[in-house]
Amino acid sequence: MARFLIRRLLWLIPVMFVVAAITFILMHAAPGGPFDKDPQQRQVDAITQKRLNAQFGLDKEMWLDFPALMQGNVVGFFDTQFFTYMIGGTVNGEWRCGFICGNMGPSFRQRGMTVQQIVLDPPEGKSPWDSKAGYSLRLGLLALIFAVVVGIPMGVISALRQNTAVDYASLFIATSGVTVPSFVMGIFLIIIFAVWFHLIPVVPRDWSDPTVWILPAVVLGFGLLAQTARLTRASMLEVMRQDYIRTARAKGLSNRMVIVRHMLKNAMIPVVTIMGPALAALVTGSFIIETMFGFPGWGRQFVLAISQRDYSMILATTLVFALLIQIANITVDLVYTFLDPRMKVS
């Protein structure tokens, strides 16, 4: 177990660097920069832009500084934009540790603030759950709870009542959840509950009311609910045909015990496979939903950062979300051993 965890954690290092490199390439391939409105219209004059580039380290080479290496300066060879952000380097004459030290960098658009302050620090007098990251995490957890609480029983009942009206209705809901995009579902529900019935505001101003969280959580979790129901149904149907289920019934066990202890436990292994990454995906995939509902989360901040070319915010968000997905995958592998003792992590 210890060797497995150490090996998987060490693999995080190259994975994170590859994710950072791909994000860095795509980020700089887009036209314009953090101090431009667009490629044709300057927001600041050339002199001010040069000073800002020096202040934020954008005047350095992007990847590797070969002229510094030719002069025998090995440290300067890696003193570039990419390695300065990831590992550390000199910025504006001062040494600054990089992302490996937990430093997400300064925001290029919200002057005088770091990425940590923007997304991790809550408003004064509030709890950490009221930060932008806390809002996104809470929304993702609510969406996951909704998907699990509704999706698993739906799949189980659908399998137990195969080829009945209940099964067909469940399959219709699951198919709709898989095929209909989340933003279409969001618009559809907003029209019904906000415009027609006036049960909720179109764009809530105050998120302290728990009722305004219901619609974003349902929209975000509906796709996962559909996948969970479909996978649970298919897994249950496969388990129901196994010999040990017939043996359990022949021994005189009650139908409830056979379903809960023998069917459901073994049928949950494929479902758990998607649960870990799904939670990370719900937290990271809420960009459109947060923008649609005016949700004050990290995902909406990421969308704004892309349009504003806020490089530090883009890199930090991508790396943190990639880290969450990797940790979720490791957690799923560990949960396997509890569901099925025959499985061993190695």
Q: Can you give the three-state secondary structure of the chain, one letter per residue?
A: CHHHHHHHHHHHHHHHHHHHHHHHHHHHHCCCCCCECCCCCECCCHHHHHHHHHHHCCCCCCCCCHHHHHCCCHHHHCCCHHHHHHCEEEECCEEEECHHHCCCCECCCCCCCEHHHHHCCCCCCCCHHHCHHHHHHHHHHHHHHHHHHHHHHHHHHHHHCCCCHHHHHHHHHHHHHHHCCHHHHHHHHHHHHHHHCCCCCCCCCCCCCHHHHHHHHHHHHHHHHHHHHHHHHHHHHHHHCCHHHHHHHHCCCCHHHHHHHHHHHHHHHHHHHHHHHHHHHHHHCCHHHHHHHCCCCHHHHHHHHHHHCCHHHHHHHHHHHHHHHHHHHHHHHHHHHHHCCCCCCC
pLDDT under 70: residue ranges of the chain: 1, 36-45, 49, 65-66, 68-69, 73-78, 92, 202-203, 280-281, 283-285, 336-346
pLDDT score for 76 = 63
pLDDT score for 322 = 85
pLDDT score for 284 = 62
pLDDT score for 197 = 82
pLDDT score for 311 = 85
pLDDT score for 39 = 47
Yes or no: domain 128-339 corresponds to CATH 1.10.3720.10: yes
Domains of the chain by residue range: 128-339
pLDDT score for 200 = 74
